[in-house]
Structure 1
Amino acid sequence: STCPSPFLAFKMDMDHSCDFSESDVEHEDIPPDPALQEICGSEVNTEFMSQGINHVEGGWAKMINADDTEVTARYKKKYLKDEHCQHTVMETCKDAEDCFPDLKDEKGVQEMEYEPSARIISMLRDPNKVKRTATSLSWHPLDYHKLAVAYSCLEFQRAPKNMSFDSYIWNIEICNKPEMTLKPISPLVCLEYNHKDTHILIGGSYNGQIGYWDTRSGSQPVQMSATEHSHKDPVYKVIWLQTKIGTETFSASTDGQVLFWDIRNMNEPTKRLVLDPSKKGNRENALGAVSMEFENSMAKFLVGTEQGLVVSCNRKLETTDDPIVCMYSGHHGPIYALQRNPFFPKNFLTVADWTARIWSEDIKESSIISYHMTYLLDGCWSPVRPSVFFTVKMDGTLDVWDILFKPKDPILNLKVCDEALYSIRVRDKDSLVCCGSQLGTVRLLKMSPDLCTLQKNEKALVSEMFERETKREKILEGQYRERHQMKHSSSVEDEGGKDDMEELLAYTEREFFETVEAEKKKIKDEEKERSGVCKGIQAEHGS
């Protein structure tokens, strides 16, 4: 007989009816299975967090500061020496393919009708009865609706008795009152947000002290510099250094000093630089600083002085014996604004007296481009267009310049207010311009799209223009030196000719007097002979 299949046997068992009966309770146990020990059946509350990394510069090791060009250069050099680096890069590049083609018709660099315009969209008024000048403006690095404004009276010993020392942080969406008040010991002349920790602001006071605020801690400063180790004049500029920790800063004042600070200990500065042109560190001969510019990718920083000179200084004072590299001369008054071009850092803008000048680091004798107008008080480059910059004037006018479209005149002239405009700052996001006036009112201006949109081939054209003007100035400088040398050599020859003529005249005069003396002596001898002959004749006649 054949054995039924398991399926048939199972089906046969299913046909029987169930028979239930009572029985004693039995304890059943399931022994642990070693194969299931790694599987956990418990649950916990999981906290989720989204985190990203900016790969524009590339992925760096944790101990490498991507903002420090020297550290990254050393790291790249060390990595490229690895024998497996080249082979790995070549193998990786074989699979590299741009799978995200740009299907739009070059938005952002398209050509458009050039009709520049601007309009005032909002005003932030000083809430105090005694109005003060809006001396410094600083946009929040992340929250583009926040603007920090420093208020002070820059007229020496003319500050009103009831003048407030407060400065404010504004939300431009709420113009009725400031979002936060900063209460310094002395009025703030300059104020800057920290790009590493956006809750922290650094400020320079009229009495020369440096202090920083943490918006999470309230209106009072967290720490102030000691008076005996601070500046002796108002602090006109303070800049954050882009370090890994983000706690280092440096300040400039009209006392002729640039002081470096660490906000973790502000009892005294970490480094000190005296702007002495003779490079002897003498404060009596120091140049007063009223503006300063620092670009993290550059090894030097620039200082604008009261005397109209731009001083180029080494950033790392401890590694050099010559902190002052060179000086640029061309202005006749204080340099109120100094900023590098964000697209071409070797070219920088200065605003002083009646001119705005564009310089090249390679030309120290003169600027490559100059614009003459009424008395200027501040200026800055556009963050989105390399050929556009802004200037504000004593008569309350804002000028917008485009050196490609209209090299000699501003493309837009806008009367903003009746009082003088002392400060200007452009928002990086969309070129929203804010202007601070003498009466403490900050006006926000919206630029037209053509002023906020990069034009086609604009970078290449501006680069060619800067190179052309730099080359022209170098040729003119060479010709000037040749003429100067020729003039100097001719003057030396003239001086040599004068010496020869003087010697000839002296010889002639000496020879003349010698001849005269010889003739006198000859005449005397002849007279003696005659007198002797006469005496002899008389003696003969007498005998």
Structure 2
Amino acid sequence: MEIVHVYTKLRSEFGRQCRFSDRPAELLLDVPPDPNLAQQFIQRTHRDQAVQACRDMSEHQVNTERFESESCGINHVEGGWPKDINPDEMEQTIRFRKKVEKDESYGNSLLQLGGVMDYCIRQNNSLDIYEDGFEDEDEVDDSPEPPSAKTINVFRDPNEGRRTVTGLSWHPDGGRKLAAAYSCLEFQRSCGDVSLDSYIWDVENPNRPEATLKPASPLVCLDYNPKDSHTLVGGSYSGQIAYWDTRRGSQPVEVSSVEQSHRDPVYKIIWLQSKTGTDAFSASTDGQVLWWDVRKLSEPTERLVLDPGREGNLDRALGAISLEFEATMPTKFLVGTETGLVLSCNRKAKTPAEKVVCTYDGHLGPVYALQRNPFFPKNFLTVGDWTARIWSEDIKESSIMWTRYQMSYLTDACWSPVRPSVFFTVKMDGVLDVWDVLFKQSDATLSLKVCDAALYSLRIQDNGRLVACGSQQGDATLLEICGGLSTLQKNEKSLMAAMFERETKREKILEARQREIRLKERSRSEQSREEETGREEGEDDPQQLIASAESDFHSLVEAELKKREKDVSEEKDAAESSP
């Protein structure tokens, strides 16, 4: 039996019927441009890119397919045995060895291989296979081009609220990424709706960040792990330490507790050179330097109070703004304080008095930047007030070199990783200065206006070519330095070593002279004090006062008599000589 069902629907329920007609175009709406809307858009940086019309590779019958290789391996316990021999059985292996050693081909093979190996060993001893035949080619002559730098990209804070770029850190593998910490350090500024996120940028993509870091408190500083490029550690405004693994997302893996952390913002955090690669230490304005193991941030592993009296008193501790650690000096580190002092500390010391080795006083304000020269670790660079100074560990009284006082406050500085005589500074007026002390010491070799806002942070890539500057308005500007300032010059290391040694000797001579002057002044003051004391004691005795008055009177009388006798003799001589 066949069942038929008929479904009916009105034509009007399908929608209006389309009726097409051939007619001329007509204007339905005309929206004129609004010039006020142009202020809401940001013009994208122009980029020039070459385009080739033809294909990169032509198709031809002789083109071969791409060879696909595959890596594989086996676990080798003890090989070379036949299938019927069990390597675990000692008797079978000894029996097989004796059988092989009795074979004539075994001796012939040893003699043949011995000659080949003897030839290779003698050749290795006669030739230096590790010799660098192009050693002199790395150092090129000074480039004739003038010093220059150009802006490549600008990484802007995606949030509406303006936050300062307080910290920057380059990715350790080639510098393809740049991590930036955003925070508001203005005192008592309302930060209710301001975002807490910090970002990791790809240097080729300034439109959006590659990854986001979501701390519980705004990050003031952060640092990539030089041994593991996926991990970062950061110091927050609340004083806590946070640890990230970018493979696990945006949330921190570990966060230190508030009770065991700093009491003020963490202005600097650095990874330490350790076997595990998980040790770091931080500095804050609460007057403490704390050591951490990022695998367990519940409490610090070690604590140092920056008391200049070397008593470990936290009430008299100096707030730390900058921090410096050199891997070649694992026990030493430098701390820049709010009062302009630089403290040289020893981590392995047992008592608080021995942990602070010495101090360097040379700035009128906080030491915002502190870094050792990568080629000469005994010399370090500091930035504070309106100057940048170069110090030597052998001179405690004063710096060996310094810049002139600038018109604007200096906020950060760093050495070039490829040229020992070049360092970079940024200022509150938005200017980046490049100094080459071998070329010019009184003025900067290159001054570049990066932006209108104040610059607060500065980091340079390991190859010395790219420089990142963070501003108060939340912009991280990436600049490329010319080849003359980012390529090692001929004899630069020896010339810089001679300059540091000469300036150190000069400061030592000046220190010795100043010490002698102070000793002479001290002896004079003590002598004058003794004379005044003796005079005061003499004035107390009336007999001595009478005796001193009589001696003064007799001396005046004798002087007057001698003067009269002399006048009389002169008059007689004049009378006798006259006609």
Residues 508 and 457 from structure 1, CA distance in 2 versus in 1: closer, same or farther, beyond 3 angstroms? same
| Matching residue of 2:187 | 156
1:314 aligns with 2:346: yes
SS for the counterpart of 2:232 is strand
Q: Is the 8 A contact 1:139 1:146 kept in 2?
A: yes
**Number of residue pairs matched?**
431
Describe the superposition over 1:73-132 as per-residue Cα deviations: whole angstroms up to 9, x where unpaired: xxxxxxxxxxxxxxxxxx999646256552586243333315110000111110001020
| Matching residue of 1:347 | 379
Provide the aligned C-alpha RMSD in A.
2.3
The partner residue of 2:418 within 381, 384, 391 is: 384
Report the CA distance between 1:201 and its aligned residue. 0.5
| Matching residue of 2:434 | 400
Counterpart AA for 1:210: I
Structure-to-structure mapping, 1:23-422, within 5 angstroms = 37=84, 95=126, 97=128, 100=131, 102-103=133-134, 106-113=137-144, 115-298=146-329, 299-318=331-350, 322-371=354-403, 372-373=405-406, 374-422=408-456
Counterpart AA for 1:382: S
SS for the counterpart of 1:494 is helix
Give, in whole Å, the separation in 1 of the partners of 2:293 and 2:402.
38
Q: Is the 8 A contact 1:293 1:340 kept in 2?
A: yes
Describe the superposition over 1:266-321 as per-residue Cα deviations: whole angstroms up to 9, x where unpaired: 11111110000111111111100000000011131000000000000002244885
Give, in whole Å, the separation in 2 of the partners of 1:126 and 1:296.
33
Give, in whole Å, the separation in 1 of the partners of 2:513 and 2:130.
54
| Matching residue of 1:31 | none
Give, in whole Å, the separation in 1 of the partners of 2:261 and 2:236.
10
Give, in whole Å, the separation in 1 of the partners of 2:296 and 2:153.
39
| Matching residue of 1:76 | none
SS for the counterpart of 2:322 is strand
Describe the superposition over 1:140-163 as per-residue Cα deviations: whole angstroms up to 9, x where unpaired: 111421111000001122043210
Report the CA distance between 1:507 and its aligned residue. 2.1
Describe the superposition over 1:52-91 as per-residue Cα deviations: whole angstroms up to 9, x where unpaired: xxxxxxxxxxxxxxxxxxxxxxxxxxxxxxxxxxxxxxx9
SS for the counterpart of 1:500 is helix
Give, in whole Å, the separation in 2 of the partners of 1:35 and 1:263.
52
Give, in whole Å, the separation in 2 of the partners of 1:275 and 1:415.
37
The partner residue of 2:538 within 483, 504, 507 is: 504
Q: Is the 8 A contact 1:384 1:431 kept in 2?
A: no
Q: Is the 8 A contact 2:336 2:343 kept in 1?
A: yes
Report the CA distance between 1:263 and its aligned residue. 1.2
Counterpart AA for 2:461: R
Q: Is the 8 A contact 2:312 2:352 kept in 1?
A: no
Give, in whole Å, the separation in 2 of the partners of 1:494 and 1:161.
66
Give, in whole Å, the separation in 2 of the partners of 1:328 and 1:440.
33
SS for the counterpart of 1:227 is coil
The partner residue of 2:529 within 467, 482, 495 is: 495
Describe the superposition over 1:151-209 as per-residue Cα deviations: whole angstroms up to 9, x where unpaired: 00011220432100000011111111111110001000000011122211000000111
Residues 498 and 168 from structure 1, CA distance in 2 versus in 1: closer, same or farther, beyond 3 angstroms? same
Give, in whole Å, the separation in 2 of the partners of 1:280 and 1:505.
48
| Matching residue of 2:15 | none
SS for the counterpart of 1:325 is strand
| Matching residue of 1:443 | 477
SS for the counterpart of 1:451 is coil
Q: Is the 8 A contact 1:383 1:431 kept in 2?
A: no
Counterpart AA for 1:173: E
Give, in whole Å, the separation in 2 of the partners of 1:222 and 1:386.
38
Give, in whole Å, the separation in 1 of the partners of 2:253 and 2:419.
38
Describe the superposition over 1:374-428 as per-residue Cα deviations: whole angstroms up to 9, x where unpaired: 2101110000000000000000000000000011100101001000011010000
Give, in whole Å, the separation in 1 of the partners of 2:465 and 2:544.
83
SS for the counterpart of 1:378 is strand
Q: Is the 8 A contact 1:336 1:378 kept in 2?
A: yes
Counterpart AA for 1:302: L
Give, in whole Å, the separation in 2 of the partners of 1:114 and 1:249.
42
1:472 aligns with 2:506: yes
Counterpart AA for 1:199: H
Report the CA distance between 1:139 and its aligned residue. 0.4
Give, in whole Å, the separation in 1 of the partners of 2:295 and 2:162.
34
Counterpart AA for 1:339: Q
Q: Is the 8 A contact 2:468 2:478 kept in 1?
A: yes
Describe the superposition over 1:437-491 as per-residue Cα deviations: whole angstroms up to 9, x where unpaired: 0011111100000111100000000000000000000000000001101111111
Give, in whole Å, the separation in 2 of the partners of 1:93 and 1:497.
84
Counterpart AA for 2:291: F
Give, in whole Å, the separation in 1 of the partners of 2:135 and 2:512.
48
Q: Is the 8 A contact 1:138 1:149 kept in 2?
A: yes
Give, in whole Å, the separation in 1 of the partners of 2:136 and 2:304.
51
Give, in whole Å, the separation in 1 of the partners of 2:226 and 2:350.
25
Q: Is the 8 A contact 1:424 1:435 kept in 2?
A: yes
| Matching residue of 2:67 | none
| Matching residue of 2:17 | none
Give, in whole Å, the separation in 2 of the partners of 1:449 and 1:273.
43
Residues 103 and 231 from structure 1, CA distance in 2 versus in 1: closer, same or farther, beyond 3 angstroms? closer
Per mean C-alpha deviation after superposition, the further-off stretch among 296-305 and 105-114 is: 105-114
Identity percentage over the alignment? Answer: 60
Report the CA distance between 1:223 and its aligned residue. 1.0
Give, in whole Å, the separation in 2 of the partners of 1:434 and 1:277.
35
Q: Is the 8 A contact 2:364 2:385 kept in 1?
A: yes
Q: Is the 8 A contact 1:382 1:431 kept in 2?
A: no
Q: Is the 8 A contact 1:121 1:444 kept in 2?
A: yes
Identify unmatched segments of 5+ residues in structure 2: 1-80, 88-121, 548-579
Give, in whole Å, the separation in 1 of the partners of 2:545 and 2:144.
88
Give, in whole Å, the separation in 1 of the partners of 2:124 and 2:439.
41
Describe the superposition over 1:9-32 as per-residue Cα deviations: whole angstroms up to 9, x where unpaired: xxxxxxxxxxxxxxxxxxxxxxxx
Identify unmatched segments of 5+ residues in structure 1: 1-33, 41-90, 514-543
The partner residue of 2:488 within 439, 454, 464 is: 454
